[in-house]
Amino acid sequence: MWNHEYTGETTAAPEAVWAVLKDIDDWARWDTSMEAVSLLGAFEVGGKVSMTPTGQEPIVSVITDIQDGVRYADETEFEGVVLRFSHTLSPRGDGGTRVVHRLEISGPQADRVGPELGPAITEDFPQAMAALLARAVDLAAGTGTDGATGGTTGGGAR
In the chain, where the domains are located: 2-152
User: CA 157 to CA 148: how far, in whole Å?
Assistant: 27
Write out pLDDT tens, residues 19-31: 999 999 999 999 9
The pLDDT, as a whole number, for residue 155 is 35
Write out pLDDT tens, residues 106-158: 999 999 999 999 999 999 999 999 999 999 999 887 754 444 444 433 333 22
Task: Tell me the pTM.
Answer: 0.86
Answer yes or no: are the C-beta atoms of 98 and 9 closer than 8 Å: yes
User: CA 17 to CA 135: how far, in whole Å?
Assistant: 8
Kindly report the three-state secondary structure assignment for every residue of 88-136: EEEECCCCCEEEEEEEEEECCCHHHHHHHHHHHHHCCHHHHHHHHHHHH
Superfamily of domain 2-152: START domain (3.30.530.20)
